[in-house]
Amino acid sequence: MSALLASNLYKSYASGKLRIDVLRGLSIAVEAGRLTLIEGPSGCGKSTLLSILSGLQRPDAGSVTALGQDLWRGDNDAVDRFRLQHTGFVFQGFNLFSALSALEQVMLPLGYMGMTRAEAIDRSQAALVEVGLGDRIDSRPAELSGGEKQRVAIARALAKRPQLLFADEPTSALDAASGQVVIDILRRVAHEHDTTVLCVSHDPRLVSHADRVLGMEDGVILNDRKMQSVSGPEKDGNVS
């Protein structure tokens, strides 16, 4: 069974008197333990799709089954609980708090999950070590590089031990070296933690590191490539 399954998704927005269709009957199935990349031109609906699949935005029509649960069948409180318990998020802008240390940033969501302070500290320290920041746990955002900030954000997501990890343009604000480190971490998380990692990105480097690449345009998936390794594609096919 797919970790994520979306069927016949529609989403549109009003702009004055105009109605802009962003998703047009899109369907997708995403496997666990893989890094799946959604690529496509700006405005094609990638971020909207990620938002709907992750429980941040409700579709106009269609369904999303996440970890066997009908995500949008319940009320907003049920969706919020699902996100807290099962998902992690990594965004382009890092979303860090200027007054908090790296350790405190990572600990923040764990308190809402009901962990004791000792449990939260242990898990947060382990997550920071995993992303290579074990010596930066007391540093605040102003003391960190862009790549280090993004690794703190990844650690914050990892500390929850999510089954689903969503990344929206995680490397676009980073230089080449820092972006490569983030890409390597996301791939390792998918394979070593058996986590479903779904990433939206314009970064061409992610294509060669993804297990699967979905090409999107005008609100639909146009092509679906499963990658044999970081060196090349296994097959190329179309999906409806």
CATH number for position 96? 3.40.50.300
- Which runs of consecutive H residues, i.e. helices, occur in 90-203? 102-112, 117-130, 146-159, 176-193
Residue 228 banded pLDDT, cuts 50, 70, 90 = low
Instruction: Answer whether 154's CB lies under 8 Å from 182's CB.
Output: yes
Contact between residue 197 and residue 189 where contact means Cβ atoms under 8 Å apart? yes
With contact defined as beta carbons under 8 Å apart, do 179 and 209 qualify? no
pLDDT at 43: 85
Q: Residue 1: what pLDDT?
A: 62
In Å, the largest CA–CA distance within the chain is: 54
pLDDT digits (tens, 9 = 90+) for 116-152: 999 999 999 999 999 999 999 999 999 999 999 999 9
Domain that holds residue 229: 4-237
Place of tokens 């990105």: 201
Cβ–Cβ < 8 Å for 44, 50: no
Number of domains in the chain: 1
**Per-residue pLDDT at 15:** 82
Residue 215: count other Cβ atoms within 10 Å of its Cβ.
Answer: 19
